[in-house]
Amino acid sequence: MRYSILGTVRAVRGDSELDVGPPKRLALLSLLLLRAPGPVSLSDAVDVLWDDEPPASAVNVVHRHIGALRKLLEPGLRSRTDAEHLSRAADGYRLLADASTSDLLRFRDVRARARLAVESGNPAQAATDFIEALRLWRSPVVADGTPVAWHPVFTSVGHEFVATAKEATDVVLRAAPALTEEVLSVLRCAVEGHPFDEAIHSRIIAALAATGRQAEALKQFEDIRRTLADELGVEPGPGLRAARRRFLQRGCAQRGKDLTTRAKPPQVPPHLPASPTAFVGRHEVSNRILDLVTRDGGGEASAATVAISGMAGVGKTTLAVRCAHRVADRFPDGQIYVDLRGHHPDRPRLDSAQAMTAVLDALGVGRGGGDLDAAALGSVYRSALAGRRLLLVLDDAAHCEQVRPLLPATPGSLVIVTSRRKLEGLAVTHYAELFTLNPMAPRESMQLLERRLGSARIRTEMACADEIVELCGGLPLALAVVATRALTGPRPSLATLAAELRDGLLALFSGDPRTDARSAFQRSYEALSVGGAQLFRSLSQHPSPEITLRAAASLADTDLQVTRRNLAELADHHLLVEHVPGRYTCHELLRAFADELSSALDPSSARSETRARMFEHYVYSADAATALLAPHRRTLILPPPRPGVHPQEFRGCADAAEWVSAERHLLPALVRALDHYPRAAAFRRQLTSTMEMSCHPSFG
């Protein structure tokens, strides 16, 4: 079997194209291809296949189309358990495709090879690979002609075509001018779907000028300038203006000479760590970071600072180094990496003076003998960086003040900072672009596991691999540790590793403080204040990863102002994430770590009191909501809550209904957990009454 989705959707057996059937079935095959080799849940299938409210029979319709696709793809199949193409997944289905059978997976594989060639210093090979990848697209519209082609999950993949076209152009113009005409055709195709994308127009202008068509290049600029003014009421941005300025200032012959000599060797030996080999995903964040570097076309941009933050083990350093290698050739005066050791397991963090000294040493700049005070060293540092195009990677920053003195004061350089802290202060003082790196999506996690273990082993234990992905919660560090354990020693089965992960963090112990998950979490915990640490431990007593301000205040027995400050501290350290205003979520592995800490540090009586306050918070909150929404359902008159409990306060019925809707999945867990509570029966009645109210057809 061979599958195509980059353009029209096709399924081919041998030399014969199969007739997939009606539009809904074709759309379902498209979704399976888009997610392959990962699973498609039934809920995702229903959401994508029906734009508006799905019918009550939607799940059955999906099952019927799956059955029809199985018969089409494997007409001789006797049992679903023997399926080689379309198999059952935990909560849906999975198309068993790889780079040899799917054009989308083949495209991503060849594109990854091209990017690796760029990082390895072989741009000519990269240009060839990029063009090979782009030739697989028969149309820039994914699943063209299907009812789902314009659904966001499909258009987001279509953006990969545009991003790759930009990358290919940059490499072709620099190292493979013979491919300019082909990349120009690709750019013209891309701009049809993105008429206001100035980065595409800038590259079309550069490609036209490189082939001697200066009049066409000028017309291209004037056309987009007029379009931007007429349609959006704006002038061209710095990237377009820089592209126009370059081709006007230089003749075509000189431009060709400039393009072939642009990637001259740096004056300073590169100091970047090796580019990660098992890198997957992170396309959106990495492309946004790269756009910051390329949007001015390599012109005279001001010094740029990018700050990547996220929880321990989420892959900040890996992403920073990967991006640094991809743009290194744009910074010929040096690419320097400094580990600031903000959370190092063994060594003290660097102060700013030590970090400056490390950069100056890398540049080979003397400091004039003798020890310099902070002001003198800063002056030497700024003078050494002035006028250079440098790439600085400042890894594992402890806080903003450690970073600020290291930022170049003149235009032309790029600084990539990583930290477990948000570093919002850098955006205030230095206009830094802030990027939060979240855990990987399940599909990316499976790709990482497959990259390390091989597709054959994943296929033989697919259900266990899915469970490992879920238990690791999208944390690359956890996935890498589990994959390493699967390949070493007695080579335990994935089922064994999944069972160990269910038992706790011990499965992620590596013996190496730099890669041990518990050790990594511990270093974040040790940076907290006393109040923040106490609240973090208390979170383990909450039955759900999501918590509100008042619930947190009840858990920790602190007033709302103190709790708000402690929640902000935990969020700043990425031990909590505020995905929705007022609601904070804790990663499941962090919750397991918090439970270990609480068991070791908090007396059992204190843990019991914490749980009691938590129960009462929800019981009294549910009672207040019921009093507003359905007073006839109130089952008892409650005495005042114990000290430290902060029930939810509602501004009206809408506010109460929103709270009940948000907590409806938590209330059953609370009812089950009440068994050993002294007033369990009465509290259970109130919570059950609120649950029944939330499930009533008239609710909401």
According to the model, what pLDDT value does residue 676 have? 58
According to the model, what pLDDT value does residue 261 have? 44
According to the model, what pLDDT value does residue 670 have? 75
According to the model, what pLDDT value does residue 692 have? 58
Strand pairing class (391-397; 414-419): parallel
- Residue entry with tokens 């990962």: 38
Rounded to whole angstroms, the Cα distance separating 90 from 76 reads 24
Q: Are 476 and 484 in contact (CB under 8 A)?
A: no
Among 616, 618, 622, 635, smallest CA distance to 677 is for 616
Which two tokens mark 488?
Answer: 């070493």
> Which amino acid, one-letter code, is at 674?
L
Among 612, 564, 607, 567, smallest CA distance to 585 is for 567
Instruction: With H, G, I as helix, E, B as strand and everything else as coil, classify residue 416.
Output: strand
- Other beta carbons less than 10 A from residue 637's beta carbon: 7
Instruction: With H, G, I as helix, E, B as strand and everything else as coil, classify residue 147.
Output: coil
Burial status of residue 368 (CB atoms within 10 A of its CB: 0-12, 13-18, 19 or more): exposed
- Other beta carbons less than 10 A from residue 638's beta carbon: 17
Tens of pLDDT, residues 173-218:
988 988 999 999 899 989 988 899 999 999 999 888 888 888 888 8
According to the model, what pLDDT value does residue 75 have? 84
For residue 547, CA distances in Å to 527, 618, 657, 666 come to 22, 11, 17, 10
Among 327, 516, 526, smallest CA distance to 420 is for 526
Which parts of the chain sit beneath pLDDT 50? Answer: 251-266, 296-302, 697-700
According to the model, what pLDDT value does residue 426 have? 93
* Buried/exposed 372-406: b ≥16 CB within 10 Å, e otherwise: beeeebbebbeebbeebbbbbbbbbbbbbebbebb
| Cβ neighbours for 190, distance < 8 A, ≥ 6 positions apart | 140, 161, 162, 165, 197, 200
Predicted TM-score (pTM) above 0.85: no
- Residue entry with tokens 């990316």: 444
550-553 own/partner pairs: CB under 8 Å, 24+ apart? 550/617, 550/621, 550/646, 550/647, 550/648, 550/649, 551/614, 551/617, 551/618, 551/646, 551/648, 552/584, 553/646
Q: Which helix (DSSP H) or strand (DSSP E) does residue 589 occupy? A: helix 588-601
- Four-point Cα dihedral 396, 399, 403, 405, nearest 10: -150
According to the model, what pLDDT value does residue 483 have? 92
Among 505, 108, 133, smallest CA distance to 279 is for 108
Helices (H) and strands (E) in the chain, counts: 31, 14
